Chain A
Amino acid sequence: MDPTLQLFLIISTALFSIGLLAALSRRHAIFILIGIELMLAAANLNFIAFWRFGPPPQQPTGVLVAIFSIAIAAAEAAVGLALVIAIYRHYHTTSVDKLDHLKG
């Protein structure tokens, strides 16, 4: 049996949920970034799967959206990690529980 679109969607759903779990349940800022990266990878997998299973003749739209999304994800990772380093220099911690100075 060949894998259907459904199977790819289930894999990407699982990947997204694992990313969400990492982003919500960990307290270390880098773990949250790892979770966000996992969720972005799941979204890319969805784009490619829907492109592949779309009716022919296919435009390369899904592939191009995935490429742009990878580029934006790289920018996001660079800025996020720079923020983690800047916060670490200020507060000497990367635990998001201790970064509640704006809470009032």
Chain B
Amino acid sequence: MNSVAFLLIAIITLAGALAAAALPRLIHAALSLVVAFVGVAASFFLLGAEFVGLVQVFVYVGAVAVLIVFTILLTRREVTGERGINWGGAIVALAVFGGLLWTILKTKSLALPAPQIEPLTVKRIGEALMTNYVWPLQCVGLVLTAALIGALVLVMEEKREEK
């Protein structure tokens, strides 16, 4: 693993996430979220999980980001009346960050280098999905179908009443 690449990816990811959390305009935040997701996918590649990185790019950058942008466009009429930052939320987030950081830095056994591993091929993932994980796979398929039908019903209901 390359430490320069790691540093670059970390900076891009955190900058994108901070912009997504702090920018006042919603559409800018959604586009910064794409940057953060690309950074997370790049760190998946760096960690040797190429398939998950690709899935991350397809699902998040391809689908979820487009979904968010569409929702912003559909609900745009409102002028966002954000009254500054909510300090309670900032304090809670900082406290969580501080606590977790203290725990991570205190745990000495976490400072281990990466072991040598055989590369995780798509063939191995596919075999695992089709043998040991076939029931979770079917359940996730069911959940996805139910969620998408539910989303459609939620959005369509109002239209039916209007007619």
Contact = CB atoms under 8 A, between A and B. Distances in A.
Chain A, interface SS category: helix
B112 to A, nearest CB: 6
B124 to A, nearest CB: 6
A11 interface: yes
Contact of A64 (B26, B47, B129): B129
A33 B72 CA distance: 12
The 8 A-B pairs with the shortest beta carbon distances in the complex, nearest first, are A24-B89, A25-B89, A75-B147, A17-B97, A22-B21, A82-B151, A21-B93, A25-B86
A83 B52 contact: no
A14 B155 CA distance: 34
Contact of A94 (B20, B78, B86, B104): B78
Interface residues of A, number: 77
B14 A14 contact: yes
A37 B60 contact: yes
Contact of A15 (B29, B40, B92): B40
Given A8-B43, A22-B20, A72-B140, A34 B29 contact: yes
A24 B92 contact: yes
B52 A63 contact: yes
Interface of B: 1, 3, 6, 10, 13-14, 17-18, 20-21, 26, 29-30, 33, 36-37, 40, 43-44, 47-49, 51-52, 55-56, 59-60, 63-64, 67-68, 70-72, 74-75, 77-78, 80-83, 85-90, 92-94, 96-97, 100-101, 104-105, 110-118, 120, 124-125, 128-129, 133, 136, 140, 143-144, 147-148, 150-152, 154-155, 157-158
A99 interface: no
A19 B32 CA distance: 13
Nearest to A78: B151
30 contacts: A11-B10, A11-B43, A14-B97, A17-B94, A18-B14, A18-B18, A18-B20, A24-B89, A27-B83, A30-B68, A30-B72, A34-B30, A37-B60, A41-B56, A51-B47, A53-B112, A60-B120, A64-B125, A70-B52, A70-B55, A70-B59, A70-B60, A73-B64, A74-B144, A75-B143, A75-B148, A77-B68, A82-B151, A86-B157, A95-B78
B67 to A, nearest CB: 5
